[in-house]
Chain A
Amino acid sequence: MSRAPEKPNDSPATRPGLRDFFYDRMGMSVAAGLAAKKKVPIHRSTPFYFLGGMALFLFVIQIVSGVLLSLYYKPSPDQAFESVQAFMTEVDFGWLIRSVHSWAANLLIGILFLHLLTAYMMRAYRRPRELTWATGILLLALFMAFGFSGYLLPWNQLAFFATRVGTALVGVLPVVGQDLLLLARGGENVTGDTLSRFYALHVAILPLLTLAMLGFHLFLVQHHGMSVPDREALRLGGSERLPTMPFVPDFLLRDAVGWYLVLGILAALAALFPWELGEKAAPFSSAPEGIKPEWYFLFMFQALKQLPGHILGIEGELLGVLFFGCAGLVIFLIPVLDRGQISRLVLNILAALAVVFFIVMTAWGYFDKGSLRLILGASLFLGVLSLAISFSDRGTLVRRILWMLTALATLLLIIGISQELYQ
């Protein structure tokens, strides 16, 4: 198209062949230049850089498996459950694709939580990466919305009532609550119209928003390069002094190991524990026992369960919703709130409390049996502690405390398992 005169120095040599045809026309030299320049710093917390790549990989899996599912799924209250049931039993590997989609969704959220936590611990949100942080939080919110909307689609009892409870929480907000509720449900109740809305959200609106947001997030990551934790930079006297590795191929190949790891875990989970379908939703029946949302909403569910009808004259669930809303806002605003030693200390304490709260509430909500609760709680604690340990220096007081907590959690884990075995 362009009539620019041939520049002899544009491509170093005249390259014949198909590869070079595209190389020149697609501006690949720009991409190649970027790839050659991109370096990843090497330090103790480098492994945490893999989490984002793993999440991205799972997102790709979600797109592929989701598109496959949409070939058989029918979004209507009369047919949704039956169509899922049918493709799980009649279509070759139908059960597997559905199981992969559900498990990958859960793994994805789990990895995003870890990504968030480690990014916080590395303080990767510092200037100039405030927007990277903000888009990351928005992406997490989008993926949780994916999870919430996708949960309803099979139209089973658990999902039906979990959606009623979940959307009702919006309705308790003052002034706008009722309108938002009508908007979300497409009616006063959860009906076929709700199913259509959630379907549109899940397969059209959220994917578009997510792709745009993800593009922005990745662009920012590329633009600013990897963030180096203060401590690591300090140890070597400046982040420029850190050893690095080229992104292509060294880091990319390591990334690929992370993807295979995720793929292996996913395949094992999906094949060994196929996702259940449950019973078809009966909209006018009483709620069955054991209504539970997905595990990543469980901490909110469990906390809201504990609130009495009224606290100081205000409806309990309104207070709960406002509390979680504020918590989300604080997380979103961390780059602005962190403005010095003291605010950092406050944030760290709040973060530790939030993690403990999340773990305790999840374990409590997940199991009725005390020993199982202990197992889940202790193993989650161990997981998070192992993250924290790699951020603290050898021999410091913090590290000693962390090791003591680790020993304690291991002890609790052993007690829990032995109780479970000898009952």
Chain B
Amino acid sequence: MEGSCDKSDKCPRRSWLVRVLVGMNLVAIGSLLYPITRFLRPRRGTRHGTLNVVAPFRVDQLRPDADGEWPAPFEFAGKPCVLVRTSDGEIKAFNAICTHTDCTVKCRPEEGDIFCSCHGGVYDLNGQNVSGPPPRPLEAYKVILRGKPGREEIIVSRT
């Protein structure tokens, strides 16, 4: 009898209704959550960046200053970029974010290495991780020199 079934498991039509109700609520919750999760994703601009940049100093300025400090990293595509000069004079550019846990590394001209002060990670001037916790080499960028020899502009680009 229709009227006497008041438990949904005994009453197919009502259990169907309950299921529809639950399903529709799930759809409603989903359609509320979807825009929220999308909203939480970072905006585009912070996930991609420019493809190349001109360093804020020229080749002849790439040397230790009076205090023995190497030129500080500068911004490239939202990340710090460090320039180094290898022992045979070649200029190399790296993403200065340490591959360990994202500190910013610095070039130590006297030691001839790249050092991360957060946990004492050391890379050589080719960006290879030599000692300490870093698990991978630094990400390398391409370097293009442009202008008068000895005073060229340094252009850093991805690939």
Query: Which residues from chain A sit less than 8 Å from chain B, CB to CB?
Result: 161, 164-165, 167-169, 171-172, 182-183, 185-189, 191, 193, 283-291, 304-305, 307-310, 315-317
Known: A161-B103, A308-B133, A317-B135. 13 other contacts (CB 8 A): A164-B102, A182-B42, A185-B42, A187-B42, A189-B79, A283-B75, A284-B74, A284-B104, A286-B106, A286-B117, A305-B119, A309-B134, A316-B135
List 16 contacting pairs A-B, 8 Å CB cutoff, sorted by A.
A161-B103, A164-B101, A169-B101, A183-B41, A186-B46, A188-B42, A188-B47, A193-B42, A284-B72, A291-B103, A304-B119, A304-B133, A305-B133, A309-B132, A309-B134, A317-B101
Question: Interface digits, B44-77 against A, CB 8 Å rule (1 contact, 0 not)?
Answer: 0011000000000000000000000000111100
**B79 / chain A contacts, CB cutoff of 8 Å:** 188-189, 284
Q: B75 touching A284 by the CB < 8 A rule?
A: yes
> Which among A161, A188, A305, A315 is the interface contact of B120 at CB below 8 angstroms?
A305
Q: B75 touching A291 by the CB < 8 A rule?
A: no
Q: A286 touching B73 by the CB < 8 A rule?
A: yes
Q: With A161-B118, A193-B43 in contact, is A285–B104 under 8 Å at CB?
A: yes
Question: Interface digits, B103-140 against A, CB 8 Å rule (1 contact, 0 not)?
Answer: 11110000000001111100000000100111110000
**B119 / chain A contacts, CB cutoff of 8 Å:** 304-305
> Which among B47, B80, B136 is the interface contact of A284 at CB below 8 angstroms?
B80
- Give the distance in Å from the alpha carbon of A317 to the alpha carbon of B101 in the complex: 8
**A161 / chain B contacts, CB cutoff of 8 Å:** 103-104, 118
**A291 / chain B contacts, CB cutoff of 8 Å:** 103, 117-118
Does B85 sit within 8 A of A, measured CB to CB? Answer: no
- Give the distance in Å from the alpha carbon of A59 to the alpha carbon of B73 in the complex: 41
Does B78 sit within 8 A of A, measured CB to CB? Answer: yes
Q: B133 touching A168 by the CB < 8 A rule?
A: no
Q: A287 touching B133 by the CB < 8 A rule?
A: no
- Give the distance in Å from the alpha carbon of A230 to the alpha carbon of B9 in the complex: 47
Does B96 sit within 8 A of A, measured CB to CB? Answer: yes
- Give the distance in Å from the alpha carbon of A384 to the alpha carbon of B120 in the complex: 32
Q: With A285-B72, A291-B117 in contact, is A191–B78 under 8 Å at CB?
A: yes
Q: With A284-B80, A309-B129 in contact, is A193–B102 under 8 Å at CB?
A: no
- Give the distance in Å from the alpha carbon of A188 to the alpha carbon of B47 in the complex: 6
Q: B80 touching A191 by the CB < 8 A rule?
A: no
Does B40 sit within 8 A of A, measured CB to CB? Answer: yes
Q: B117 touching A288 by the CB < 8 A rule?
A: yes
Q: A165 touching B104 by the CB < 8 A rule?
A: no
- Give the distance in Å from the alpha carbon of A317 to the alpha carbon of B106 in the complex: 21
> Which among A168, A187, A284, A288 is the interface contact of B46 at CB below 8 angstroms?
A187
- Give the distance in Å from the alpha carbon of A90 to the alpha carbon of B48 in the complex: 40
> A-B pairs with the 7 shortest C-beta distances?
A187-B46, A286-B106, A168-B102, A309-B135, A168-B101, A287-B103, A284-B80
Give the shortest distance, in Å, between A399 (CB) and chain B (any CB).
41
Does B100 sit within 8 A of A, measured CB to CB? Answer: yes
- Give the distance in Å from the alpha carbon of A287 to the alpha carbon of B103 in the complex: 6
Q: B118 touching A193 by the CB < 8 A rule?
A: no
**A183 / chain B contacts, CB cutoff of 8 Å:** 40-41
- Give the distance in Å from the alpha carbon of A286 to the alpha carbon of B135 in the complex: 19
- Give the distance in Å from the alpha carbon of A166 to the alpha carbon of B134 in the complex: 15
- Give the distance in Å from the alpha carbon of A167 to the alpha carbon of B80 in the complex: 17
Q: With A309-B134, A310-B135 in contact, is A284–B42 under 8 Å at CB?
A: no
Q: With A193-B43, A193-B46 in contact, is A287–B134 under 8 Å at CB?
A: no
Considering the complex, give the chain B residue whose CB is closest to the CB of A306.
B133
> Which among A182, A287, A315 is the interface contact of B116 at CB below 8 angstroms?
A287
- Give the distance in Å from the alpha carbon of A283 to the alpha carbon of B46 in the complex: 14
Q: With A286-B72, A305-B133 in contact, is A165–B42 under 8 Å at CB?
A: no
Give residues 85-107 of B contacting A (CB, 8 Å): 96, 100-106
> Which among A186, A187, A286, A315 is the interface contact of B96 at CB below 8 angstroms?
A286
Q: With A284-B80, A317-B135 in contact, is A304–B101 under 8 Å at CB?
A: yes
- Give the distance in Å from the alpha carbon of A287 to the alpha carbon of B101 in the complex: 12
Q: B135 touching A315 by the CB < 8 A rule?
A: yes
Give the shortest distance, in Å, between A188 (CB) and chain B (any CB).
6
Give the shortest distance, in Å, between B111 (CB) and chain A (any CB).
14
Q: B42 touching A164 by the CB < 8 A rule?
A: no
- Give the distance in Å from the alpha carbon of A191 to the alpha carbon of B102 in the complex: 13
**A187 / chain B contacts, CB cutoff of 8 Å:** 42-43, 46-47, 78
Q: With A187-B46, A307-B133 in contact, is A165–B72 under 8 Å at CB?
A: no
Q: B104 touching A191 by the CB < 8 A rule?
A: no
> Which among A169, A172, A286 is the interface contact of B104 at CB below 8 angstroms?
A286
Q: A188 touching B78 by the CB < 8 A rule?
A: yes
**A315 / chain B contacts, CB cutoff of 8 Å:** 135
**A290 / chain B contacts, CB cutoff of 8 Å:** 117
- Give the distance in Å from the alpha carbon of A35 to the alpha carbon of B132 in the complex: 59
Considering the complex, give the chain A residue whose CB is closest to the CB of B120.
A305
- Give the distance in Å from the alpha carbon of A199 to the alpha carbon of B100 in the complex: 26
**A168 / chain B contacts, CB cutoff of 8 Å:** 100-102
Question: Interface digits, B126-159 against A, CB 8 Å rule (1 contact, 0 not)?
Answer: 0001001111100000000000000000000000
Q: B135 touching A191 by the CB < 8 A rule?
A: no
Q: A285 touching B73 by the CB < 8 A rule?
A: yes
